[in-house]
Amino acid sequence: MAMSGGVDSSVTAHLLLSAGIEVVGLTFIRVNTPAEVDHEGFSEEARAAREVASHLGIEHHVLNLHDLYTSRVLRRAWEEYRSGRTPNPCVLCNRTLKFGHLVRYAREVLRADGIATGHYARIYVDAEGGVHLMRGKAGTKEQSYFLAQTRPEDLRHAYFPLGDQTKDEIRTYARHHGIPTAERPESQDVCFNTTGLRFGEFLEEFFEEGGEPGPILDERGNVLGRHRGIHVFTIGQRRGLGVALGRPVYVKAIDPERNAVIVTDREEALLHRVVEAAGVNWFAPPPSGPVEVLAQIRYAHRAAPAVLTHEGDRIRVRFHEPQRAVTPGQLLAAYVGDEVLCSGFIMQTEEG
């Protein structure tokens, strides 16, 4: 049982125990920064998880995966930022650590049947062994998007007991059963302490590798100012641009070849209809022709109707209506109904 010290994983463990299932808690520490771990090497979430495990009377293991997390998640995220893209660390972590390394550890070391988590998503394995990932019932809190890059073979041994529940129902359950984390707040963005910095700034400090200063340009190529590194910008960003024109301006594009940030005062310049994504993870055989999907371009985005085509090692998605601030580096997840068809990392966009 992957335990984060939050209410979701705590309730998941309680539900499994109530169903008569043997549960062993497993928590991993991501980074060893002084802001994250105490003098004994424990993170706040590891201590919270241990408290819950003690309350439930279950065995609890803590793994320090600092080196693995640094190389597989943080380093990749930093390279993405320096290439002008905006990564999603939760997607990378789920694929490489939580449902990669932890699943193997649970099965090979702990001899467990699989690993359960507190994700609001649903999964089932059909009679032919196919793995199906579906949206949870938690509305805006559902988390299938974060799991859409996880390999189906790793999800084969995953269990999501909260898939049919809502967040409010889980809070109520935790209070009713006296679970210590019932009032613990949700983690926001990355689930460790970035000391108040934006993620790109945290990575700059973490790796002690500063960004390269460059120009801030308007759409005609005029220099409006200077930036200290493209890693602190993302598409659609309005605040903290370092230029004051007396009117709202937004980041339209990031050009890593010129190390330039291009801004616009035109809202319509942020709209794109065609998106190309790479690193595709399929949950079904790739379609031989165009297929209607609902495509989601970031976690907070409401999936929109589109047509998906499979082109070599990439997918190409044409939205019925233009979408705002489509961001290279973010994950595009394609759904057929509530079921994930595939996902890929956004590489480029076209106005279409």
146, 95 Cβ separation under 8 angstroms = no
Residue 4 marked ligand-binding: yes
Residue 134 marked ligand-binding: no
Residue 118 marked ligand-binding: yes
Burial of 186 (0-12, 13-18, 19+ CB in 10 A): exposed
345, 329 Cβ separation under 8 angstroms = yes
What is the per-residue pLDDT for 34? 67
Which regions of the chain carry the CATH code 3.40.50.620?
7-176
pLDDT of 242 higher than 90: no
Which regions of the chain carry the CATH code 2.40.30.10?
270-350
Mean pLDDT throughout 241-259?
Answer: 93
What is the per-residue pLDDT for 41? 67
Name the CATH superfamily, with its identifier, for domain 270-350.
Translation factors (2.40.30.10)
Residue 278 marked ligand-binding: no
Residue type (1 letter), 147 = L
Query: Which tokens in the block code for residue 205?
Result: 């400090």
Band of pLDDT at residue 201, cut at 50, 70 and 90: very high
148, 133 Cβ separation under 8 angstroms = yes
Q: Output the pTM of the full model.
A: 0.94
Residue 130 marked ligand-binding: no
What is the per-residue pLDDT for 189? 54
Q: DSSP alpha helices (H): ranges in 57-212? A: 66-69, 75-82, 89-93, 102-108, 144-147, 152-155, 167-176, 199-207
Band of pLDDT at residue 244, cut at 50, 70 and 90: confident
What is the per-residue pLDDT for 43? 83
Taking CA atoms, 43 is separated from 20, 31, 75, in Å, by 30, 9, 21
Active site amino acids: 93, 191
pLDDT of 202 higher than 60: yes
Query: pLDDT tens-digit profile of 282-310?
Result: 999 999 999 999 999 999 999 999 999 99
Residue 2 marked ligand-binding: yes
Q: What is the CATH number of domain 7-176?
A: 3.40.50.620
What is the per-residue pLDDT for 187? 66
Which regions of the chain carry the CATH code 2.30.30.280?
211-265
Query: pLDDT tens-digit profile of 158-188?
Result: 999 999 999 999 999 999 999 999 998 876 5
What is the per-residue pLDDT for 186? 77
**CA–CA distance, 352 with 322 (Å, rounded to integer):** 8
Query: Which tokens in the block code for residue 71?
Result: 């190389």
Query: pLDDT tens-digit profile of 110-122?
Result: 999 999 999 999 9
Taking CA atoms, 11 is separated from 46, 81, 94, 129, 209, in Å, by 16, 36, 20, 29, 40
Mean pLDDT throughout 245-252?
Answer: 93
Name the CATH superfamily, with its identifier, for domain 211-265.
Adenine nucleotide alpha hydrolases-like domains (2.30.30.280)
Residue type (1 letter), 134 = M
332, 296 Cβ separation under 8 angstroms = yes
Residue 289 marked ligand-binding: no
What is the per-residue pLDDT for 111? 95
